[in-house]
């Protein structure tokens, strides 16, 4: 019989010690070894910085709109801008993306309009955008369901490749550390590994699943677990946009070339609560938040831009104006979002409205019109 005291206590005891996260940008904004090889340029850095600044502005506006009663709920992505911008900017517009529900920065990079991102939280739709047009699937609120959708979609891409060798799209799938505990996540990681689906799983480990810390969710680091499924796994500093971009670009290139699916664990931090209904002060201390604020992904890049002289005053002024314009557009678009007629729901339940649905819609319409 196994003596429970002999059970390994740490990942190292299990022989699955975590890798140190890949980094290209120091916490003071200095470029680290490997940055030159990773093709880091002033132009790339300025572009990533711009996307992060705009995402933060949008996120702040949405948060404020919730506090003003304009949105029912908001799930802030503050602190995760580098993980999202760095990864989405490393894949092509033709690649299909499956988000979780906090990927606002990634969504903005895909070209989604602020109003489209706010509909779900204002309560005017359960989706809000054309997932096929943007190649950006609807948000998934049930944890980890989208990992299976992404896997299936990638299997479809692989099937297309067999018929048309020119097809070289890949799939990028976001999820969080909490979602990794779900059965669907584990089915998907295994399924993708076994079938060799052209897919990059991107886990934003933001340290907290509402109030449950990562350490209480998993005995092994997530990238180590993914490697156990047979996935090529990378761990990256998720607050280092340059490293995230480089790691994702490399993984995407390998997958695009026909390599097996990849798994990236980005170590980052959710600066706000899980949602605007959450009170993170009940479960985490101010000192922890302060330590992560020092590693803020936006200011880190700003330090690099300033130190290298890669962005002058003109750039920052123009960016500030762009952020202000986005802010005004976001607030106006939010207030303009009106509820759609309930009739639409009857029409969209099935591809063609059945007699039963039509009868219910007509009953509802007659009832409503009886008050006119």
Residue count, binding to other proteins (CB under 8 A):
43
| Catalytic residue of the set 67, 92, 126, 283 | 283
Minimum separation from the CB atom of position 164 to other proteins (A): 12
Q: Is 174 in the site for other proteins (CB under 8 A)?
A: no
Segment 325 to 344, residues that bind other proteins, using CB under 8 A: 344
- For residues 336-371, b (16+ Cβ closer than 10 Å) or e, as one string? ebeeeeeeeebeeeeeeeeeebeeebeeeeeeeeee
Write out the two tokens for 47. 């572009």
Q: Is 142 in the site for other proteins (CB under 8 A)?
A: yes
Q: Is 294 in the site for other proteins (CB under 8 A)?
A: no
Q: Is 91 in the site for other proteins (CB under 8 A)?
A: no
Kind plus residue range of the DSSP H or E element containing 152: helix 145-163
Contact indicator for 189, 198 with CB cutoff of 8 Å: no
3-state secondary structure 42-102: HHHHHHHHHHHHHHHHHHHHHHHHHHCCCCCCCCCCCCCHHHHHHHHCCCCCCCEEECCCC
Q: Catalytic: 274?
A: yes
Q: Is 153 in the site for other proteins (CB under 8 A)?
A: yes
Q: Is 94 in the site for other proteins (CB under 8 A)?
A: no
Minimum separation from the CB atom of position 132 to other proteins (A): 7
Minimum separation from the CB atom of position 93 to other proteins (A): 17
Write out the two tokens for 66. 């919730």
Question: Of residues 112, 150, 203, 337, which one binds other proteins by CB under 8 A?
Answer: 150
Distance CA 171, CA 11 (A): 30
Question: Of residues 132, 166, 309, 336, which one binds other proteins by CB under 8 A?
Answer: 132
Q: Is 354 in the site for other proteins (CB under 8 A)?
A: yes
Minimum separation from the CB atom of position 102 to other proteins (A): 18
Minimum separation from the CB atom of position 356 to other proteins (A): 4
Question: Of residues 8, 111, 123, 127, which one binds other proteins by CB under 8 A?
Answer: 127
Residues 6+ apart with CB under 8 A from 56: 78, 81, 298
Distance CA 270, CA 63 (A): 14
Of 115, 168, 11, the closest CA to residue 326 belongs to 115
Contact indicator for 50, 260 with CB cutoff of 8 Å: no
Binding mask 190-229 for other proteins (x = CB under 8 A): xx--x-----------------------------------
- Specify the residue for token string 């649905």: 357
Nearer to other proteins, 33 or 355 (CB): 355
- Specify the residue for token string 């509402």: 210
Nearer to other proteins, 36 or 359 (CB): 359
Minimum separation from the CB atom of position 144 to other proteins (A): 9
Nearer to other proteins, 9 or 92 (CB): 92
What distances in angstroms separate CA 127 from CA 30, 67, 118, 139, 170, one per listed residue? Answer: 41, 22, 10, 7, 23
Q: What one-character-per-residue DSSP string does 284-312 give?
A: S-HHHHHHHHTT-HHHHHHHHHHHHT-S-
Nearer to other proteins, 137 or 223 (CB): 137
Q: Catalytic: 153?
A: no
Q: Which residues bind other proteins (CB under 8 A)?
A: 125-127, 130-132, 137-138, 140, 142, 145, 147-157, 159-160, 162, 183-184, 187-188, 190-191, 194, 344-345, 347-351, 354-357
Q: Which residues are catalytic?
A: 270, 274, 283
């Amino acid at each position: 019989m196994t003596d429970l005291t002999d059970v390994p206590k740490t990942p190292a005891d299990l022989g699955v010690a975590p890798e140190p996260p890949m980094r290209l940008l120091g916490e003071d904004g200095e470029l680290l070894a490997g940055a030159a090889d990773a093709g880091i340029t002033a132009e790339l850095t300025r572009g990533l910085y711009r996307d992060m600044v705009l995402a933060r502005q949008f996120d702040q506006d949405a948060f404020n709109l919730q506090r003003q009663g304009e949105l029912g709920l908001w799930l802030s992505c503050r602190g995760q801008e580098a993980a999202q911008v760095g990864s989405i900017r490393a894949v092509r517009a033709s690649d299909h993306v499956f988000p979780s529900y906090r990927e606002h920065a990634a969504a903005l990079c895909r070209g989604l309009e602020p109003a489209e991102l706010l509909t779900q939280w204002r309560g005017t739709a359960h989706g809000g955008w054309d997932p096929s047009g943007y190649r950006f699937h609807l948000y998934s609120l049930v944890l980890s369901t989208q990992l299976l959708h992404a896997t299936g979609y990638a299997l479809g891409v692989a099937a297309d490749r067999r018929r048309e060798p020119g097809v070289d799209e890949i799939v990028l799938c976001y999820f969080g550390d909490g979602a990794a505990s779900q059965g669907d996540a584990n089915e998907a990681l295994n399924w993708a590994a076994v079938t060799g689906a052209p897919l990059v799983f991107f886990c934003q480990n933001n340290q907290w699943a509402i109030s449950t810390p990562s350490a209480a969710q998993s005995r092994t680091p997530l990238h180590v677990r993914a490697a156990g499924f047979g996935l090529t796994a990378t761990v990256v500093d998720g607050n280092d946009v340059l490293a995230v971009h480089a790691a994702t670009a490399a993984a995407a290139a390998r997958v695009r070339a026909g390599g097996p699916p990849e798994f990236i664990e980005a170590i980052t931090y959710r600066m706000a609560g899980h949602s605007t209904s959450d009170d993170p002060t009940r479960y985490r201390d101010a000192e922890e938040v302060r330590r992560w604020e020092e590693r803020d992904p936006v200011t880190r890049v700003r330090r690099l831009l300033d130190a290298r002289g890669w962005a002058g005053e003109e750039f920052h002024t123009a960016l500030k104006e762009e952020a202000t314009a986005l802010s005004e557009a976001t607030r106006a678009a939010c207030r303009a979002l009106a509820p759609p007629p309930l009739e639409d729901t009857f029409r969209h339940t099935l591809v063609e409205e059945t007699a039963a649905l039509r009868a219910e819609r007509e009953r509802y319409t007659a009832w409503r019109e009886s008050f006119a």
